Structure 1
């Protein structure tokens, strides 16, 4: 498995068509995973409400752990897209511009991905940052080493905009 820090080292050569297929595959994977993530968020909120009544954290911690595993898949899709874009950008100037224009959002998602490699530590970070009230659940904003993050409409729309920009650059490249 690739870690975020060394993601560009030793990448095998790929044709542009192969790289575009990678982008499409992981874009579709992330988009198709969105609804499941929203269901897991509902599970977290329900566990949080039960925690309010009982004071017991175990169910909430488990629900967060499961949610963070789903987040991990989602941001891993972003990682795979970024690695394909890195290689495309070396071959096509138009893709280099797309990569740079989306760099802040890519880096944000990849930073979260790096934190989520340690799922239990990520769960603990929520308690440390949000306190015993688990305020992260109420806000739907989870804390990952200085980044407030969730998989929401904004993230999904950004992913869709990235994919559209890649496709538009591809069309221009072929003209």
Structure 2
């Protein structure tokens, strides 16, 4: 008797599950473009010249220098550029010095977006509006030295960052 009750209960549960199934439509919305914007300056050198670190305060940026990523020939309908800057040499929020000998120590580079907000070099996206009818669009940033140690010393400084751009 117990076997028949279990079989009947299992059969009812399977029947109920089958009758509760439904089809759900999936809508896919996309935009196809044939090309992205042209980046005019693929290799950007930010010349920060000679920075005087004497008397600088720990954690305070100094000698801010503007730079831009310049886009042109953006396809019609490309409205936004989302830019991410990263560095592979550090786990910090800053760009670290790459010079091995005769290097400056206790200093790093902090990068700011167009809203003057410092970027965390490990996790950041900056959003820019693109007017695809204009000849070019400047994605403006700036870089500044920042003293990261009271035991800082003068020397050469070379930092490297990469950028990635996503359009929509």
> What TM-score, normalized by structure 2, do the two folds share?
0.26
Higher strand share: 2
Q: Which has the higher contact order (CA 8 A, sep 6+)?
A: 2
Higher Cα radius of gyration? 2
The structure where helix makes up a greater share of residues is: 1
